[in-house]
Amino acid sequence: MAVSPLAPERFPELPEIDGVTFASAAAGVRYAGRTDVMLACLTAGSAVAGVFTRSATRSANVLDCQAKLGSDPSGRAAIIVNSGNSNAFTGKHGDGSVAAICAAVADELEIDTRRVFTASTGVIGERLPDERITAKVGELVANQSPAKIEEAARAIMTTDTFPKGATATVMVDGKPVKIAGIAKGSGMIAPDMATMLVYIFTDAKISQTDLQKIISTQNDKTFNCITVDSDTSTSDSLVAAATGASGVDVTGNGAFVDAMHSVMLDLAHQVVRDGEGATKFVTVDVTRAADDADARKVAMAIANSPLVKTAVAGEDANWGRIVMAVGKSGAAADRDLLSIRFGDILVAENGWRAPDYSEEVASAYMKNQELTISVDLGLGSGNSTVWTCDLTHGYIDINADYRS
């Protein structure tokens, strides 16, 4: 599969995070000739927090992880993830697969099963061949290294065209605190948590409760503000782990929160840039709505509209489709107060095309790889920004053949 034209030039150099190691292996869950399972091992005392898909048909892995959050952090912990099969909608077999994988990891590492967190991503409705994963646990434990985070990022890919990583370092009381994150996600992406897999590691010292608050709050400002196709996955999760190895307490530290936000937003944007078939990265900025909730309704209506997304793909400055999306959003709107911009170009205002509007100038702007669509509703102080991509025939090609 060709790498997305919106991909970063290379995978970033992620720092080693004291207290966490990684390994990956080829278990043959679905893919031949590539790694498809990763194991991260966390030192004793690591705080683990997470947010998960709110799908009513979420997988056994998600339910198991949700139940384990807040478990006793005194012992070591592990995160094991496979790609190729989501272990979703597999009935009692799904629960059995999770139990088998957790038991194998716990036995090999001599840790409590309540400290083993799993995830699966891939095809829905097919029984997970968990014996292929458990057969690799010994190899995964033996090959652990703090330097193998990029290999872990590659092992969790499905239709992704590039592995995703991000990092930040923040100084707290004169000491560095490091953060490194990886993600997978390309399709079935819509905000109802994140609908992807995201793993963030830091050597900061912080309680599970305080880490959970940060992750939950920043998730709403990052992963819950992206969409590729409006579809919410059954399986996906964001898990953050703080090993405490730096000895630096970041409780209540605003700089640490900002750094976490930076890493999460970077990963969220990379997911959009790898949207299945994407050729354009689009920022949708809505201002002066009646309130923030209405602003979000409008922004998502624009970002999820197939008509808007195909116009963007075709480099068509069809601002009428923006008007349509505003009107259907369910948010309060007044035709005669509405203004629309493509980048810095005012295309419509006060219920009509802008007096100085130039189709030629607007069309030239639409040829850019990165676009901003701005809507001013003129009603109040509500604001929202979301990120999306265009909709091309590549999306159809990928998803029509996904199980073939």
CA-to-CA distance for 156 and 36, rounded, in angstroms?
6
**Whether 385 is catalytic:** no
Torsion angle defined by CA atoms of residues 263, 265, 267 and 270, in that order, rounded to the nearest 10 degrees: -140
* Amino acid in position 337: L
Beta-bridge partner residues of 346: 341
Place of tokens 């997470």: 50
Residues 195, 53: contact at Cβ < 8 Å?
A: yes
Identify the CA nearest to 255 among candidates 175, 167, 170: 170
- Residue pair 130/94 in contact (Cβ under 8 Å)? The answer is no
281 vs 270: CA distance, rounded Å: 10
- Which of 158, 195, 232, 392 is catalytic? The answer is 195
DSSP state for residue 223 in the 8-state scheme: G
Three-state secondary structure readout of 285-337: EEEEECCHHHHHHHHHHHHHCHHHHHHHHCCCCCCHHHHHHHHHCCCCCCHHH
Give the relative orientation of helices 254-273 and 208-221 as an angle to the nearest 10 degrees. 50
List CB contacts of 344: < 8 A, sequence separation 6 or more.
Answer: none
Contact predicate 384/299, CB 8 Å = yes
Q: Among positive and negative, which fits the CA dihedral 253, 257, 259, 260? A: positive
* CA–CA distances in Å: residue 304 to residues 124, 138, 299, 301: 23, 44, 9, 5
**Closest of 290, 354, 278 to residue 322, by C-alpha:** 354
Distance CA 2, CA 17 (A): 31
| Phi then psi dihedrals of residue 53, to 5 deg | -55, 145
Q: Which residues are catalytic?
A: 195
